[in-house]
Chains A and B, each alone.
Chain A
Amino acid sequence: MCTVCGCGEGEVRIEGGDHGHKHDHHHHDHAHGHDHHHHDHEHNHDHGHHHHYGEGPAGVSVPGMSQSRLIQVEQDILSKNNAYAAENRQVFADRGILALNLVSSPGSGKTTLLVKTITMLAERFGLYVIEGDQQTSADADRIRATGAPAIQVNTGKGCHLDGHMVGHALEHLKPADGSILFIENVGNLVCPAAFDLGEAHKVAILSVTEGEDKPLKYPDMFAASSLVILNKTDLLPYLDFDVSVAIANARKVNPAIKVLEVSARTGEGMAAWCAWIEAARAMQLAGHPAGKAAE
């Protein structure tokens, strides 16, 4: 693993190139003006290699004497991801891009919803998609069939996208200023809740075949989301799903959450969803030059 930026972990693959940025920092330059192998206790080790001896505060090692010490760290474990997410968020702000992070369990109809959404919005906005899945580029292929540029990120064994993967995907995808970027996260209602990608909103998609207690079973995701799309409402006549209970459960976890009832298949509720996206985009563009250019 690259210990500078933390990438190269596991089996993440991003389409269209072997991991984007140039890893100059892998070639650690060993030409420091001194020789590490000489026992010179004066110099400062501000880098992490070739520590043979005397790494304690005193810079000497005494056999049999422990140099154990306590250091206060007080650092958020996810601070690294949060830093990548903040960078992405800055890019989105500078370029007037609305980024939406779509989260759900597998099979909630995210990709179908996205394909329909793209068809409805394509004439008016630049649309881009980052597809996260453990394996295959099947979803990105479905999106590309609509004409929208899409890039697949395969997380390998990973259960979520993180800020770093999205940052690299952006380098390849190059979304235009003032456009809308949909990030379809790995189908998983647990882990993606913890990983900020820099998006403006998380949108949780819950299909009515899943049961109205999902918001209580996976509260973190619903707490982190701004909007719930209750999808596949065309199936309601065949199910015992109680929409009002599902909404009440989502509000127990997140009193501010908004809910839209949608059937991506029949198109019911799609206009409201598109209106929500437009409103979110207007918020993202408030005060941004791309907002004026688009009108």
Chain B
Amino acid sequence: MHEMSICESILGVIREQARAQNFTRVDRISLEIGPLAGVEIEALKFGFDVVMRNTLADGARLEIIETEGRAWCMPCGQTVAIAQRFDACPECGSHQLQVTGGEELRIKEMEVN
């Protein structure tokens, strides 16, 4: 259940940004989260509302952009789509995969006031 500390980290970034960019309210925040980031999105949504309560992001709309898992298959020599870390290459069945995408855990943009 580290989604709660992730929400606290998000709040930390919001507060830093609020100081740097002079805003006092967040209306919407959009996050980019990959399937391999180790984050349960439902738990994150729950934690978000709780952590943001009585802060400058109270009631802010949480928008989540889910990215795709991607890996470089060494035997095939090409990028393939994966949903989980232990997935085999859909082309050749090998597990010699190097994850290249899907670990994103980023704040993309915010609509602020």
Q: Which residues of A contact B (CB under 8 A)?
A: 3, 6, 9, 45-48, 51, 55-57, 66-81, 158-160, 162, 190-191, 193-195, 215-216, 219-220, 223, 249, 251-255
Contacts and interface: CB of A to CB of B under 8 A. Distances in A.
B110 A70 contact: yes
Interface in B89-105: 95-97, 99, 105
B21 interface: yes
B113 A66 contact: yes
B52 to A, nearest CB: 14
B95 A76 contact: no
Given A70-B110, A190-B38, A77 B21 contact: no
A3 B17 CA distance: 12
Interface of B: 1-2, 5-6, 8-10, 12-13, 15-19, 21-24, 27, 31, 36-39, 84-86, 88, 95-97, 99, 105-113
Nearest to B99: A223
B100 to A, nearest CB: 13
Give the most central of A71, A72, A220: most B CB within 10 Å.
A71
A160 B2 contact: yes
B54 to A, nearest CB: 13
10 contacts: A48-B18, A68-B27, A69-B112, A69-B113, A70-B112, A72-B108, A80-B12, A160-B5, A215-B86, A254-B85
Given A48-B19, A70-B109, A223 B13 contact: no
Given A66-B113, A77-B13, A77-B31, A71 B86 contact: no
Nearest to B40: A190
Contacts of A47: 19
